[in-house]
Amino acid sequence: MSTIADRLIEDEGLRRGVSRLTPEKIEKVFKELIAGECGARLKTYVESCVRCGMCAKACHYYMSHKDPSYTPVAKVSQTMWRLLAAGGRVEPQVIYECAQVAYTECNLCRRCIHYCPLGIDTGYIISVVRRLCHKLGVTPQYIQDTAHSHSAVLNQMWVKDDEWPDTLQWQEEEAREEFPGLRIPLDVEGADFMYSVIAPEPKFRTQLIYQAAAIFNAAGLNWTMPATPGWDNSNMAMFTGDSEIMSRVERAHYETAQRLRVKRIVMGECGHAFRAVYDVANRWLGWKWHPVPVVHSVEFFWELIQQGRIKITHKYADPVTIHDPCNIIRGRGLMDKLREVTHFLCENVVEMSPNREHNYCCCAGGGVINCGPPFKNVRIVGNSIKAEQLRATGVHTLVAPCHNCHGGLEDIISKFGLGMHTKFLGDLIYELMEKPEAE
Amino acid sequence: MSFAQSWDFTPGARVVVDDLGKCSREYEWLEEPYVSPDGETVARVAALPDAEFSMAVGGEVWEETFDKIWYPRFSPDGRLTALVQSAGEWTMAVDGQAWETQFGYIWGTLFSESGDVIAAPIQADGQYGLAVDGQPWETLYENANQVLLSRDGKATAAVIQAKSLAQADIETFQQGIFSVAVNGEAWDAVFVNCWNPAFDATASRVAATVRRTLYDYTIAVDGKAWDGAYACAWGPVFNPATGQVAAPVRKAGAWGMAIDDRMAWEPRFAQLWQQAYTPDGGKLAAIAAVKFGEFTVVVDGAPWGVTFPVVTDLTVSPVGGRIAALGNAHNTDFAVLCDGKVWPGRYDMAWPPVWSPDGAHLAVAVERGGRFTVVCDGKAYPQSFDKCFAPAFSPDGTKVLIRAVADNKLHRIVAPVAAFTG
Amino acid sequence: MHALYDLAVGPLAWLAFGVFIIGSVYRLLAMRALALRKDGAFVAYVSWPHAFKSLAHWFTPFGALGWRENPGVTIATFIFHICLFLVPLFLMGHIVLFDTFRGWSWPALPDGAADVLAIVVVVICAYFLWRRLSVPEVRFVTSAQDVLVVSLVGLTFLTGVLAYHRIGDNLVLTTLHILSGEAMLVAIPFTRLSHMLFGVFSRGYIASEFGSVRHAKDW
């Protein structure tokens, strides 16, 4: 049977990382990690897993390859069990293998929780493996660079302090051509909500900021975007295993909202960012719930529709299907609201199967797409099951309210020739909304 | 003499601007009102026809107009600043006068405590630094952020990028490319990261949190790092009396307070941050989580007896060693905490507490059900408004200046502390 | 052999029950203490209403996605676990022993029914062993301990069935039956069989996270 050792991929970050390791160093760091940070969850999961293999069908990698080394339990057996069995004293090459499994062959999508009768959270175990790899300095180059960016400028894309407000002002100016008097209100204290986005928006996808501003403007909302760092809600440090930087980023995000005295944070259409803000970093920072309530765009659009604040001229005519992003469906239960919004906007919605909490992951999430070009093919061929699922819908438009899902799905669509295009809800609302008459 | 000593503290209420929408020129729209510290006037960005922008101050539009204008802020001495762009170049305008030097971009205006010095981070030709009263640092850097201006206005500092970094070059990054520049001059030492630089009381020393490797956090003072390595650390502060440096540090999964690299408060907190010394250096207070999800204020290592899901805005009195903060439950039910006690009122939102100069009284702007007022020593001013700005005390500490908007008018109320009866 | 039999039904039985009960209680309490000490930011979300709702689904055959997608394992698992509890607890032969030694008695299953159920356990153990060795995704993660614990359960029931049907040397088989049953009891707190102790808590915890934080079902 093949194992991770049979499919290693060269990555500068992993290669250089393991070159500095010795079995003694690995053992020391591993033991400190287990003693310092791991408790009853890891112990229970490792002890009580009965190795039944029921989780195999949960994982899109396994369903795509039908190779037993890709099942959730196999990923744990090739990493954590192996390390535990050796007391952490392993050759550096083993850490290379662990890192490749943990960073590029598991999206932390948590679908396997629906398969394991014992409720074992494989995503958590893989996160511990990532934490170890981070502490050993064995992380894929591209995602590590992103974590460096988070540490230096508190955003994912090395966006400097001036580039952010400058970009917003530029988008505001552009949008005023279409919507006279439109504002992107910067740093307005006491606004109803702070809108936060991920750094790829100002860097590559400014259209999304434009669209959000157009929608909020048309809805007559009292909103603001911060002019300071703390505006980026994304968090790749969460996925490299650098909890300290993860939390520094989210502390800035929450404190920015607190400083602006907003009632809520509304987050753009991103899944992993939502996970970081809503479910992960708040805990590390000591807040049980959210110091400022956090609302994902799907839910926010749903609210606006309920309040009659989004007015569309017509419905989207072509049939669409819905991709349920793990981090806001399994991570926040927004499946019904996502459907209500989509049905409000579209004439014909064709469900894919399985869907809702049982959806297959896009295979880009969990930081996998951020590991960059060396691993691109891993996540594309590792998700042929998603391609089959998409093809079976027979539609050409795919609604996916998550950035990483877009990236992953577009790669799959192109590789498998599915002839589809992906849309954010914001794309659809902007396209369909009432706009001022062009002069 | 502080600027407040020249303000009118005659008790009574005045309408100082009878129509906030008043504007001396035709306009497309007026943006959020900013009220001067003395409460005598209001400034709004005015969008004029033909995509021109300026500031309307008390309804009078500055003579000069700009292509863009943002971030209007009053300095503590009452001057109005705004960041302005003309012909693609940015600078600061102070009371309608633009600085002569222009920049690629300017943001984040800073003021000295008395307001006599105005500074801002700038970018010029892709290089970064600070400009003080229009004068940029002699040396600019590939990046500069986390900027600060000392209280006396004599010094500026920022975290700077000392070396270039190629795309996705994780190796160079981990060798260290960041440092701190003071008045434009960088420390000799470079670190993997530098964060939260802070001046001492006389602006002669700077401390910052640094990361020597991806895992080794510590504090550096004037470029020299402590020996101790910590799992994480938040920003440091100087003791204004002794010059000691205190910073929350993480050890064995819990937070404690290190002073000059020694554990002063043992690591037993789930969180510890926003520490502040009283001005005499006698007490050190911080916000802490005594358990997961239970925050309070800790003074000299001893937690207050009351916890909230969230605590923010720790504020120390100018004299008297008193401490206040805000508690809330996930951004609702705001309460004011003062010297370990909780005031009875609960609010939808509260603004940072303001101490009287003698430390005898505490005032807080609060909002409930969309109506604003000011609470002083636990008692509300009997009138509510559409919006209240930060309250201020008279220099003798006996009267409170309330700056408020109601019915599209700017109200200026000077109320004796005894007038707060609610 | 008689001496061994006497040892097995006497001191060893005491020992086995003692280790099983004290060991289980100790493991549960120790794990709870560990959770409170090290997993505070997670234990804080435990919500029993969500846990019970989820457990109801997982204790229902085909009540969760994992069960529906693995129908063979599901049927085998449910029948196996039901029989695993029913047969030892309600077998006339066992109740008689308790009656004789301790004076405790309770209703028994008809002998014929118990016999069939015991044979079913043996057959399912064989099925589990076959899966371990033949189904690739199971074989990939199977270790000696996994084979051992299934074999131990299978052996206990097989020797019981053989002894009941008087196949082979009755004394040897009965003694073997008792010893393997005792070994199984002792193994519960300290091997994979500890899923009997921890399973409802690990599922209940994740159900709490899904229910109270993530507002999504976990079945």
Question: Which among A145, A190, A242 is the nearest to B170, CB-wise?
Answer: A145
pLDDT digits (tens, 9 = 90+) for A314-326: 999 999 999 999 9
Judge: A285–B295 Cβ closer than 8 Å, yes or no: no
The confidence score (pLDDT) of residue B1 equals 45
In a domain, A311, yes or no: no
Task: Determine the Cα–Cα distance for residues A247 and A237; give it in Å rounded to an integer.
Answer: 9
Same domain, A265 and A359: no
The CATH number of residue A129's host domain is: 1.10.1060
High-pLDDT (> 90) share of chain B, %:
98
- Average pLDDT (A199-210) is 96
- From the number of C-beta atoms within 10 Å of its C-beta (0-12, 13-18, 19+), residue A394 rates as exposed
- Average pLDDT (B245-266) is 97
Question: Which among A39, A54, A118 is the nearest to C34, CB-wise?
Answer: A39
Judge: C44–B293 Cβ closer than 8 Å, yes or no: yes
The confidence score (pLDDT) of residue B334 equals 98
What residue in A sits closest to B173 (Cα-Cα)? A148
Same domain, A181 and A95: no
Helix ranges, A266-334 (H): 272-275, 281-284, 297-306, 326-329
Judge: A151–B31 Cβ closer than 8 Å, yes or no: no
Same domain, A122 and A245: no
- Among A267, A282, A306, the domain boundary falls at A306
In A, residues 394-423, which contact C (CB 8 Å cutoff)?
A: none
Q: With bands split at pLDDT 50, 70 and 90, how would you rate the model's confidence at B5?
A: confident
Q: Mean pLDDT lowest for which of A229-233, A427-431, B117-121, C98-102?
A: C98-102
The confidence score (pLDDT) of residue B80 equals 98
In a domain, A326, yes or no: yes
The confidence score (pLDDT) of residue A438 equals 58
In a domain, A437, yes or no: no
High-pLDDT (> 70) share of chain B, %:
100
- From the number of C-beta atoms within 10 Å of its C-beta (0-12, 13-18, 19+), residue B292 rates as middle
Inter-residue contact B194 to B220 (CB < 8 Å): yes
Domain tally for chain A? 3
Judge: A119–C141 Cβ closer than 8 Å, yes or no: no
- Average pLDDT (B39-62) is 96
The confidence score (pLDDT) of residue C102 equals 85
Transcribe C26-65 into DSSP letters: HHHHHHHHHHHHH-HHHHTT--HHHHHHHHHHHTSTT-SH
Shortest distance, CA B215 to any CA of chain C (angstroms): 21
Size of interface A-B (CB pairs under 8 A): 121
Same domain, A197 and A275: yes
In a domain, A314, yes or no: no
How do strand B12-17 and strand B409-416 relate by DSSP bridges? Answer: antiparallel
Which of chain C's residues have a Cβ under 8 Å away from the Cβ of A39?
Answer: 34-35, 37-39
Residue A330 pLDDT more than 80? yes
A186 strand-pairing partners = A225
Shortest distance, CA A46 to any CA of chain C (angstroms): 9
Residue A244 pLDDT more than 90? yes
In a domain, A313, yes or no: no
pTM above 0.80, yes or no: yes
**Gyration radius (Cα) of chain C, Å:** 20
Same domain, A273 and A377: no
Question: Which among A1, A50, A279 is the nearest to C136, CB-wise?
Answer: A1
- Average pLDDT (B54-66) is 96
Same domain, A158 and A292: yes
Please report the ipTM that was assigned to this predicted complex.
0.97
Residue B422 pLDDT more than 90? no
Give the chains touching B; criterion: ≥3 Cβ pairs < 8 Å: A, C
Judge: A290–B143 Cβ closer than 8 Å, yes or no: no
Task: Determine the Cα–Cα distance for residues C115 and C178; give it in Å rounded to an integer.
Answer: 17
Inter-residue contact C194 to A48 (CB < 8 Å): yes
Question: Which among B193, B253, B293 is the nearest to A37, CB-wise?
Answer: B253
Judge: C141–A74 Cβ closer than 8 Å, yes or no: yes
Overall residue count recorded for chain C in this entry: 219
Question: In a 3-state reduction of DSSP, which class is residue A240?
Answer: helix
In a domain, A315, yes or no: no
C-alpha of A366 from chain center: 6
Judge: C70–A57 Cβ closer than 8 Å, yes or no: yes
Residue C98 pLDDT more than 90? no
Residues of chain C that touch chain B, judged by Cβ-Cβ distance less than 8 Å: 40-41, 44
- Average pLDDT (C100-122) is 93
Same domain, A69 and A133: yes
Within an 8 Å CB–CB cutoff, is residue B416 touching chain C? no
Which of chain B's residues have a Cβ under 8 Å away from the Cβ of C44?
Answer: 292-293
Inter-residue contact A315 to A325 (CB < 8 Å): no
Question: Which among C142, C207, C215 is the nearest to A119, CB-wise?
Answer: C207
Within an 8 Å CB–CB cutoff, is residue C58 touching chain A? yes
CA dihedral A330, A336, A342, A345 (to 10 degrees): -150
pLDDT digits (tens, 9 = 90+) for C170-211: 999 999 999 999 999 999 999 999 999 999 999 999 999 999
Encoding tokens for residue A144?
A: 């590590």
Same domain, A65 and A156: no
Which of chain B's residues have a Cβ under 8 Å away from the Cβ of C41?
Answer: 292
Same domain, A107 and A241: no
Judge: C66–A55 Cβ closer than 8 Å, yes or no: yes
Same domain, A10 and A156: no
For testing the chain C interface, which of B268, B292, B294 should be mutated: the one with the most C CBs within 10 Å?
Answer: B292
What residue in B sits closest to C44 (Cα-Cα)? B292
Q: How does A128-154 read in b/e, with b if 16+ C-beta sit within 10 Å?
A: bbbbbbbbbbbbbbbbbbbbbbbbbbb
Which of chain A's residues have a Cβ under 8 Å away from the Cβ of B145?
Answer: 153, 160-161, 229
Which of chain B's residues have a Cβ under 8 Å away from the Cβ of C35?
Answer: none
Same domain, A156 and A125: no
Within an 8 Å CB–CB cutoff, is residue B252 touching chain C? no
Judge: C135–A116 Cβ closer than 8 Å, yes or no: no
Encoding tokens for residue C207?
A: 């159900």
- Among A109, A139, A169, the domain boundary falls at A139
What residue in C sits closest to B252 (Cα-Cα)? C38
Q: With bands split at pLDDT 50, 70 and 90, how would you rate the model's confidence at A192?
A: very high
Question: In a 3-state reduction of DSSP, which class is residue C121?
Answer: helix
In a domain, A312, yes or no: no
- Among A139, A172, A207, the domain boundary falls at A139
Within an 8 Å CB–CB cutoff, is residue B270 touching chain C? yes
Amino acid found at B107: W
A112: domain range?
Answer: 4-139
Which of chain B's residues have a Cβ under 8 Å away from the Cβ of A293?
Answer: 330-331
Same domain, A158 and A244: yes
Shortest distance, CA C190 to any CA of chain A (angstroms): 9
- Spatial strand order of the sheet with B97-98 comes to B68-74, B80-86, B89-94, B97-98
Using alpha carbons only, give the angle A248, A253, A255 rounded to the nearest 5 degrees: 90
Residue A1 pLDDT more than 90? no
Whole-number average pLDDT of chain B: 97
- Average pLDDT (B180-185) is 98
* B50 contact partners, CB below 8 Å, separation of at least 6: none
Residue for token digits 């005032």? B363
- Average pLDDT (A132-153) is 98
pLDDT digits (tens, 9 = 90+) for B119-174: 999 999 999 999 999 999 999 999 999 999 999 999 999 999 999 999 999 999 99
Within an 8 Å CB–CB cutoff, is residue B172 touching chain A? no
In a domain, A17, yes or no: yes
C-alpha closest to that of B274 among B225, B222, B324: B324
High-pLDDT (> 90) share of chain C, %:
95
Helix ranges, B299-382 (H): none
Shortest distance, CA B26 to any CA of chain A (angstroms): 15
